[in-house]
Chains A and B, each alone.
Chain A
Amino acid sequence: MKSYYYFERASLLAIFLLSSVYSFAQETDWIQLEFGNKKNNTESTVSLSGLVKDLNFDLPLIGATVEVVDKAIGTVTNENGTFKLELPTGQHQLAISYIGYNNMRVNLLIYENAFTILNLSGSAVELEQVTIKEQSQRDNIESVISGVERLDRRSLDTKPKLLGEVDVLRSIQTLSGVTSVGDGASGFNVRGGNADENLILQDGALIFNPSHTLGFFSLFHPDLINTVNLYKGDQPANYGGRLSSVLEVNLREGDMQNYKANVGLGLISSRLTLEGPVIKDKASLIIGGRGSYLDWLLNRVDDIDVRNSSAVFFDFTGKFSYRITDKTKLTITGFTSGDEFRFADQVNFEYQTNTLSGSLNQLISDKFNVRLGVSTGTYNSSLFDIDGNDISEFSNDIGYLRGELKALYQMSEKQKISFGVEGNSYTVNPGTISPTTEESTVIPDQLDEERAFAMSPFLQYDIDVTEKLSLSAGLRYTDYAINGPATVATYEENTPRSVTSFTGNITFEDGETIKKYSAFEPRFSARYILTESSSVKAGFNQTFQYLNQISNTASATPVDLWKLSDFHIQPQKSTNYFAGFFKNFDDNSVSSSIQLFYRSQDRIIEYKDFANLLLNDNLERELVDGRGRSFGAEFNYSMTSKRNFIQFNYTYSKSQRLVEESPTQESINNGTWFNSNYDKPHSLFVTYTYKTSKYGKLAANFTYSTGRPTTAPISNFRVDNLQNIPVFSDRNQFRIPDFHRLDVSYTVGPVRNKKDTFSTEFVFSIYNLYARKNAFSVFFEQRVARSISAVRVATLGTIFPAVTLNFSFGS
């Protein structure tokens, strides 16, 4: 205990030396609000709803934090800039904050239900860390949408800063119902779905691979994040095209008044953020970049394999915001990133993401808002064969253009409607191979490009039927067409697609429609408030997916190819049911929930045994139609006090697949249900954060999940002139060892200097404290004079400490 004390003191001393004398200097606007009076009051609890706006420009502020300081509860404003809080009658103090604006403090006297408009003025003061509690303690009771997880900068701040920074992907993997295949996996899995079933948006731009460096870092710059929403149950009707979830990352705007800089220096990577006004109070720019520099470290290692390895990434994000008039705002976000990973002469791949998105918000009136969003982007990946005579590059890429026009109309305090249309144009290059040396024996080849267009009008209607019952209903219709030029193979009817059943090709001209699919996607959810601190919610929705990641490896990899639904491959379909009971205790300082879900999926893409996926002109011959089902129960508990934050998430779930025999396909596992690659029945996540002092924060994570399924050799035979042919079990019959890991981090700071122009923060983290060798991948290897054996690859399968210093400049 004593050594811990000295450690904290020493850390503080180091920071104070960097930042001179520390103190808080916080500009705060104070106002007084009164609603009703004590004499007429009959209720013990009332609701306060409101709209948070920019004082000068009348624009709603989305994601602003509204906290009831004395009750340690809070919420964030929704997409209309509105919020709603349930409060005991009497006197309270509200704190309203938004990045780049002055904090507002409200002395509130409330005895009746009320609505208010709160106008924030521009500022440059960093948010005061009033409390380390999660934002939406009350939201879990109030929100109509079930299965939505909201994270903002403050709630992300409660997570351990592993490898020196808070990471969006690692943070959402701590939520119930969200898993990953293991350490080092790309992407994440929601309620038993594939990684490609998540719609990932950064400021409206599609992200196809959210991971850097095998998933140890996410693509999203932590200093630029404003809010993160994960819709794992219900999805608002304006989102579509993916079966499982929507991950919406909203970046913050640059400061409109002052220039600022943030620097994070780490062992593996560093980051820089600069922001400031372009035109004071009208336009701002924020830019951020990150880069890793593991290579120059690897070059100093004796082992030749490590010396010939590489793991580098960079990303660069910029966001320009312009308040054109007091009712019109324009934002433009650009993003580029690149990754290279190579391990000796065994594995080498690269991938890049580029996006550009813009949105124009027009406030027609206090109740009517229109948003036009346009985005475009590309994702391309390359897998290199770097050994032998076949030295070559296999690449595939996807590009898109997306436009969305959305209108929001607040019909009354209890009703709102949103509607609009979204259009998506996709271009996919499913594969190109080219030799990379003159000596290579590889013959260049390229598969035909695929093009498709989807148009989706949508309508969403939300109503508070009574004070306790709220309904949310949405409808989305998608009209999808894949277009030529293309050559499509045809096959005999009622026979499996194969060389033998091939009957000929149909040629489609440029722009000619090859196949059209259309579908309605209904969404519905309801919430009923049982008591002041408890509610039940239920709903269902139907989703379709037209863009598929083709991969039959256990884990999605950055080089998996993308494939559009086409003449043979129909869109995948999912019907999702969910229900939940939400209960808070102790003035919302403790929140808990039990959520149940059931998903039924049709036309799920499954793979024949030994499917050949790379550079295959007739990919449809390797695929089979399957059905899927996932069900589970998610238990959440979180407790917040002044110094402590505890979060406990446990999920029991099953995720299974069925491929039955039919005239057109063979069965898998004799047509019986089998576990999907992502079936992890038990999943537990525990976080504990302890504020050791005004500046010190100790955090620990423990995570456990059942080992994922695998197909393993069960016997060995010889046939003809061949020896040692392994016999594999039914698909996914066995499991790899369970996954568990403990991480800790200690953060000191941020400590500001006297003039509040400079602050520093020191983060020390230990990843995998007890050096568990969790398997990222288990594969099977033929050994000389022995039968086949299972080999485990564990990335970061040992204790991994990291130190990062974060600096912030600017007032």
Chain B
Amino acid sequence: MNKLVFILIGFFASIFFLCCVDEIDLNIDTDKQFVVIDGFISDRLDEYRVRVSTSAVIGLGNDNIFDNISGASVRVIDENGLAVNFQELEMEPGNYTGVMEVDPSLEYEVEVVMPDGEIIRSVPARALNSPDIDSLTFEVVTVEQINSAGNTVESDFIDIFTNTSVTDSEKPFLRWRVSGEYEFKEVFPGALDQLRCYVTNNLDLNNIEIFSTDDLNGNVLTDQFVIRTAVDDRFNTIYCFHVDQFGISEQEYDYWTNVQKLVDLEGSLFDPPPGELKNNLFSETNPDNIVLGYFSVSTVSEKRLFIGPQQIGYTVGTECRSFRFTTPRCSDCTTILGSTREKPPYWPI
């Protein structure tokens, strides 16, 4: 009898908490798609990219289908009316590139003329100063993870940190973009000097690192985390982290802060309701149309950090150590995406 009572009581107790967390349909009209403009320019002479696309329709079967928009006319115009035309890449529709550098004393805007004639612009903005990066540091950390078999395993990662000094008069907002490049040695039987490739590596997918130096206590930003990546055979010869530090506006800082909140949305009882992302783009021809994305104008300061097995303390095992069981990349590293045999001029000997 007692057992029965406990079972009943336990049942009531558990439904008090458990019974009802489920997915519901809010009957939202899911046909809406918006134009997305995405790009940045800086004071470094470089090739820049502007991507023109549409947002995806929400709903089962439609998830993550983004349409790139071809045939748009993209220009970046300074306040004197000088324009740099961006050309669409043949192999990547919707992606438009142009070579330029920003003069920090001038305001710039992007102008996108859509195939249907709609004109979209960004609010003219001047590049804000980015202080120099004093130094980059790293740390190897061991993190517990659950592998695909469901077991807890330990893996090593490298965390990269920046150290930057700011002045009292300037409290900039900063954003970091990190790319990686590593040297890869081919395995070729009998070769005295193995052939090498230099492979570029996109590191910060779905990650954004920004900082408001207004939150800084003092004038030195110390050990600001910028990226984490796994320790693997990319580090077996030498790995180069390129850290670009951009000086951005408060509005852009707020934009990326809120974008990160939306990406990280996990859902909880105490979630504040999310809201509208305020950006710097607008439709000149149809002011009621919502335009998504951000066009950033900034200055950049950069720094590199080389890390090899000596710094990490060990070499990671790889399939290229055996002559018998190798993959194509082991004997021809040009098959690796983003690779070149041309040694970058800044590469250590």
Give residues in A with beta carbon < 8 Å to B.
267, 294, 297-298, 300-301, 303, 305-306, 309, 311, 343, 346-347, 383, 498-500, 502, 552-554, 557, 559, 607-611, 613, 666, 710-731, 734-737, 773, 775-782, 785-798, 800-801
List residues of chain B with CB within 8 A of the CB of A778: 24, 26
List B185-235 residues whose CB lies under 8 Å from chain A: 202, 204-208, 212, 214
Complex Cα spacing A719 to B63, Å: 16
Tell me if A715 and B26 are in contact (CB < 8 A).
Answer: no
Q: List 28 A-B contacts (CB under 8 A).
A: A297-B10, A298-B14, A300-B9, A301-B13, A303-B18, A306-B17, A499-B212, A610-B254, A610-B275, A710-B273, A711-B275, A712-B28, A717-B34, A721-B207, A722-B206, A722-B259, A725-B277, A726-B262, A727-B55, A731-B273, A734-B28, A737-B24, A777-B269, A781-B266, A787-B63, A798-B15, A798-B19, A800-B12
List residues of chain B with CB within 8 A of the CB of A712: 26, 28
Tell me if A267 and B257 are in contact (CB < 8 A).
Answer: no
Cβ-defined partner of A715 (8 Å) among B25, B38, B57, B260: B57
List B56-85 residues whose CB lies under 8 Å from chain A: 56-59, 62-64, 66
Complex Cα spacing A790 to B24, Å: 6
Complex Cα spacing A554 to B269, Å: 9
| CB-based nearest A residue for B266 | A781
Tell me if A306 and B293 are in contact (CB < 8 A).
Answer: no
List residues of chain B with CB within 8 A of the CB of A502: 214
Tell me if A666 and B278 are in contact (CB < 8 A).
Answer: yes
B86 close to A (CB within 8 Å): no
Tell me if A294 and B13 are in contact (CB < 8 A).
Answer: yes
List B130-158 residues whose CB lies under 8 Å from chain A: none
Complex Cα spacing A736 to B22, Å: 13
B19-53: CB near A (< 8 Å → 1, else 0) gives: 11111111011101110101000000000000001
Complex Cα spacing A273 to B107, Å: 75
Cβ-defined partner of B64 (8 Å) among A608, A666, A723, A730: A723
Nearest-neighbour CB distance to chain B for A324, whole angstroms, equals 48
B274 close to A (CB within 8 Å): yes
Complex Cα spacing A793 to B277, Å: 26
B239 close to A (CB within 8 Å): no
Nearest-neighbour CB distance to chain A for B138, whole angstroms, equals 19
List B256-288 residues whose CB lies under 8 Å from chain A: 257-278
List residues of chain B with CB within 8 A of the CB of A343: 17
Contacts beyond the supplied A610-B254, A785-B63: 19 A-B pairs with Cβ under 8 Å: A300-B9, A311-B17, A553-B270, A607-B272, A716-B58, A718-B53, A719-B38, A719-B259, A721-B205, A723-B64, A725-B262, A728-B275, A776-B269, A778-B24, A779-B271, A780-B265, A781-B265, A794-B19, A796-B16
Complex Cα spacing A792 to B274, Å: 16
Complex Cα spacing A559 to B269, Å: 12
List residues of chain A with CB within 8 A of the CB of B102: none
Tell me if B21 and A793 are in contact (CB < 8 A).
Answer: yes
Cβ-defined partner of B26 (8 Å) among A347, A717, A736: A736
Complex Cα spacing A110 to B261, Å: 73
Q: How many A-B residue pairs have CB under 8 A?
A: 239
List residues of chain A with CB within 8 A of the CB of B38: 718-720
List residues of chain A with CB within 8 A of the CB of B293: 717, 719
B118 close to A (CB within 8 Å): no
Nearest-neighbour CB distance to chain B for A603, whole angstroms, equals 21
Tell me if B16 and A791 are in contact (CB < 8 A).
Answer: no
Cβ-defined partner of A727 (8 Å) among B26, B212, B214, B292: B292
Give residues in B with beta carbon < 8 Å to A.
6, 9-10, 12-26, 28-30, 32-34, 36, 38, 53-59, 62-64, 66, 171, 173, 202, 204-208, 212, 214, 250, 254, 257-278, 290, 292-294
| CB-based nearest B residue for A729 | B28
Q: Which of A554, A713, A787 is packed against the most chain B CB atoms within 10 Å?
A: A787
List residues of chain A with CB within 8 A of the CB of B258: 609-610
List residues of chain B with CB within 8 A of the CB of A609: 258, 274-278
List residues of chain A with CB within 8 A of the CB of B262: 725-726, 728
Nearest-neighbour CB distance to chain A for B106, whole angstroms, equals 20
Nearest-neighbour CB distance to chain A for B262, whole angstroms, equals 5
List residues of chain A with CB within 8 A of the CB of B206: 721-723
Complex Cα spacing A731 to B271, Å: 15
If A306-B17, A773-B22, A795-B20 touch, whether A721 touches B202 (CB-CB below 8 Å) is yes
Cβ-defined partner of B56 (8 Å) among A498, A607, A787: A787
Cβ-defined partner of A499 (8 Å) among B23, B214, B266, B274: B214
Complex Cα spacing A730 to B22, Å: 24
Complex Cα spacing A720 to B292, Å: 12
Q: Which of B6, B19, B208 is packed against the most chain A CB atoms within 10 Å?
A: B19
If A791-B24, A792-B21, A794-B19 touch, whether A346 touches B13 (CB-CB below 8 Å) is no
Complex Cα spacing A723 to B270, Å: 24
| CB-based nearest B residue for A721 | B205
If A666-B278, A728-B274, A779-B269 touch, whether A714 touches B29 (CB-CB below 8 Å) is yes
Cβ-defined partner of B273 (8 Å) among A300, A301, A554, A719: A554
Tell me if B23 and A722 are in contact (CB < 8 A).
Answer: no
Complex Cα spacing A455 to B5, Å: 57
List residues of chain B with CB within 8 A of the CB of A719: 36, 38, 259, 292-294
Complex Cα spacing A718 to B56, Å: 9
Nearest-neighbour CB distance to chain A for B297, whole angstroms, equals 15
Complex Cα spacing A141 to B27, Å: 45
Q: Which of A557, A610, A613, A795 is packed against the most chain B CB atoms within 10 Å?
A: A610
Cβ-defined partner of B6 (8 Å) among A300, A498, A776: A300
List residues of chain A with CB within 8 A of the CB of B270: 347, 383, 553, 557, 559
Cβ-defined partner of A800 (8 Å) among B10, B15, B294: B15
Tell me if B267 and A779 are in contact (CB < 8 A).
Answer: yes
List residues of chain A with CB within 8 A of the CB of B275: 608-610, 711, 728, 731
Nearest-neighbour CB distance to chain A for B171, whole angstroms, equals 7
List residues of chain A with CB within 8 A of the CB of B64: 716, 723-724, 785-787
Cβ-defined partner of A309 (8 Å) among B15, B17, B272: B17
List residues of chain B with CB within 8 A of the CB of A294: 13, 16
Nearest-neighbour CB distance to chain A for B94, whole angstroms, equals 11
List residues of chain B with CB within 8 A of the CB of A297: 9-10, 12-13
Complex Cα spacing A776 to B206, Å: 32
Cβ-defined partner of A716 (8 Å) among B56, B264, B267, B290: B56
List residues of chain A with CB within 8 A of the CB of B250: 498-500
Complex Cα spacing A778 to B269, Å: 8
Nearest 6 Cβ contacts at the A-B interface: A609-B275, A797-B20, A794-B20, A781-B267, A717-B55, A297-B13
Tell me if A797 and B267 are in contact (CB < 8 A).
Answer: no
Nearest-neighbour CB distance to chain A for B153, whole angstroms, equals 19
Complex Cα spacing A786 to B59, Å: 9
Tell me if B12 and A267 are in contact (CB < 8 A).
Answer: yes
Tell me if B268 and A715 are in contact (CB < 8 A).
Answer: no
Nearest-neighbour CB distance to chain A for B82, whole angstroms, equals 26
Tell me if A713 and B58 are in contact (CB < 8 A).
Answer: yes
Nearest-neighbour CB distance to chain A for B123, whole angstroms, equals 14
Complex Cα spacing A150 to B290, Å: 51
List residues of chain B with CB within 8 A of the CB of A557: 269-270
List residues of chain B with CB within 8 A of the CB of A731: 273, 275-276
Tell me if A610 and B274 are in contact (CB < 8 A).
Answer: yes
Cβ-defined partner of A714 (8 Å) among B20, B28, B261: B28
List residues of chain A with CB within 8 A of the CB of B208: 720-722
Tell me if A775 and B24 are in contact (CB < 8 A).
Answer: yes
Cβ-defined partner of A791 (8 Å) among B12, B22, B28, B261: B22
List residues of chain A with CB within 8 A of the CB of B207: 721
List residues of chain A with CB within 8 A of the CB of B278: 609, 666
If A300-B6, A666-B278 touch, whether A717 touches B36 (CB-CB below 8 Å) is yes
Tell me if A782 and B16 are in contact (CB < 8 A).
Answer: no
Complex Cα spacing A666 to B29, Å: 27
Nearest-neighbour CB distance to chain B for A678, whole angstroms, equals 13
List residues of chain A with CB within 8 A of the CB of B12: 267, 297, 800-801
Tell me if A722 and B28 are in contact (CB < 8 A).
Answer: no
Nearest-neighbour CB distance to chain A for B255, whole angstroms, equals 9
